[in-house]
Structure 1
Amino acid sequence: MGTKQPVSVLVVIHTKTGEVLLIERADRAGYWQSVTGSREGSETLLETARREVLEETGLDADQHVLSDWQLHNRYEIYPHWRHRYPDGVTHNDEYVFGLQLDAPQAVRLVEGEHVSQQWLPWQQAAELVFSPSNAAAIRQLATRLGLSAD
């Protein structure tokens, strides 16, 4: 069994106009998602969000607008990923952040972790992601950004 903490962040990277960056997992073809990752050691959730954004995209969150959306999701860990956690751990606590960029930009993906990237309007991004909590967070963009929900 693994040692991964069952506490993670979800960082929706987006523009002011509602375009969302999605990255495709290397270990699961067709699994598109926002930046995610587990807390390491005693780092704060904000530190986790900054680190994961840098690791997974090469973006420096301090150069953009990083905000804590004050959303918490608790969900059952998919069985095929439970081996990463200590014995008996079945649920994860996820905290949602947003990172706003001025415009879409290419990012540097980590070889072996993600294989592709794309920027999509928030409506399409919400339909494409595999995680229900990721889809729900993306759907909140319209309200957060004052955009039409159509």
Structure 2
Amino acid sequence: MNDREMMQLSQQLGEALRQLGATVTTAESCTGGWVAKMITDIAGSSAWFERGFVTYSNEAKQQMIGVDGATLEAHGAVSEPVVRQMALGALNAAAATWAVSVSGIAGPDGGSAQKPVGTVWFGIANDQGEVRTYLQNFPGDREAVRRQATVFALQTLWQNIRQKA
């Protein structure tokens, strides 16, 4: 997806949130704030986006959005239980309607046989207590993995919001 298409996706997401009077927050690790950047690139986004959390380190995940240290120890940062806690923690910290979380291995280092480079977990939570998680394995270099993760986060968030509308 090129930059123009990413911008269109962000506009669609913003329009859906605006129509519902809903807000969104982000909790990002491997994308380093790229999801929040795409959301806030849209004029008027302050109506549906108040804050995002770039929780790159495990310490940040614990301090900023309440991820449990025992969960990080048991499962690692790139895991379903962690993105679940990231999404719920960000949702609560921001008092938002929706949250999206991202944690992955963008590379070129850090991968393993169980979690190769390109492994990215996502969480989508809403203020109704629903949480959905998704696992993707993206090809390419660091930039490609991060871009694909950003697009997937925006698309999946938009699809979840549309299902609730």
TM-score using structure 2 length: 0.32
Q: Report the structure, 1 or 2, having the larger strand content.
A: 1
The answer to which structure, 1 or 2, has the higher relative contact order (CA under 8 A, 6+ apart) is 1
Q: Report the structure, 1 or 2, having the larger helix content.
A: 2
